[in-house]
A and B are shown apart, each in its own frame.
Chain A
Amino acid sequence: MAGLPLAAAAGTPSPGAVEQEGPSVPLLALDTLWFQVTGTICNLRCSHCFISCAPDNHAFGFLSLQEVEGWLEESRAYGVRDYYYTGGEPFMHADLPAMIEKTLELGPVSILTNGTVLPDHRVDPIARAARESRYSVEMRVSIDGPSPEMNDPVRGEGTFDRAMAGVRKLLDYGFLPIITAAQVWPPERDEEVRREFMTRLRGVGYDRPRLKILPRLKIGREQFRDRGYGPGERVTLEMMEDYDEAQLLCSSSRIVTSEGIFVCPILIERPAARMGYTLKEASRKFDISHKACYTCWLHGAICSNYGAAGRDAV
Chain B
Amino acid sequence: MPSEPDVRGPLAVFGGVYSNHLALEAAVADARRREARELYCLGDLGGFGPNPDKIFPLLLDAGVEVVRGNYDDSIARALGDCQCGYTDPRDNAFARISYDYSLTRTSPRWRAWMNELPSKIRVRAGGHRVLMCHGSPRRTNEFLWDSTSSTQFLDRLARAQDADVVMVTHTGLPWVRELPGGGLFVNVGVLGRPANDGGTAVRYALLTVDEGSPAVEVVSLTYDHEQLAHEMRAERLPEEFVETILTGWWTTCLEILPAKERARGRF
Contacts and interface: CB of A to CB of B under 8 A. Distances in A.
A136 B259 contact: yes
A136 B258 contact: yes
Interface in B176-224: none
B263 A176 contact: yes
Interface stretch (B24-32, B120-128, B141-149, B234-242): B141-149
Interface in B150-173: 150-153, 155-157
B87 A215 contact: yes
A234 B178 CA distance: 45
Contacts of A80: 150, 152-153
Nearest to A104: B150
Interface residues of A, number: 35
B85 interface: yes
Interface string A232-267: 000000000000001000000000000000000000
A76 to B, nearest CB: 6
Interface string B42-61: 00000000000000000000
Contacts of A107: 149-153
A81 B153 contact: yes
A310 B151 CA distance: 25
Interface in A105-144: 106-108, 130, 134-139
Contacts of B141: 305
Given A305-B141, A306-B85, A306-B87, A106 B263 contact: no
Contacts of A306: 85, 87
Contact of A76 (B87, B152, B261): B152
Given A108-B147, A306-B87, A135 B260 contact: yes
A108 B150 contact: yes
A54 interface: no
A79 interface: yes
Chain A interface mostly helix, strand, loop or mixed?
mixed
A304 B261 CA distance: 23
Nearest to B255: A210
A174 B150 contact: no
A209 to B, nearest CB: 11
What is the size category of the interface that chain B forms with chain A?
20 to 34
A137 B262 CA distance: 12
A135 B147 contact: yes
A157 B192 CA distance: 49
B148 A108 contact: yes
B89 interface: yes
Contacts of A136: 145, 147-148, 258-261
B239 to A, nearest CB: 19
Contact of B87 (A137, A174, A303): A303
Interface in A42-89: 76, 78-82
Which of B85, B141, B148: most chain A Cβ within 10 A?
B148
B139 interface: yes
B85 A106 contact: no
A107 B261 CA distance: 15
A212 B88 CA distance: 8
Contacts of A304: 85
A206 interface: no
B225 to A, nearest CB: 24
B259 A194 contact: no
Contacts of B153: 31, 79-82, 107
A235 B167 CA distance: 38
Interface of A: 29, 31, 76, 78-82, 106-108, 130, 134-139, 174-176, 191, 194, 208, 210-213, 215, 246, 303-306, 310
Q: Sorted from nearest, which 7 A-B pairs have the closest CB atoms?
A: A79-B156, A305-B85, A107-B150, A81-B153, A136-B147, A136-B259, A136-B258
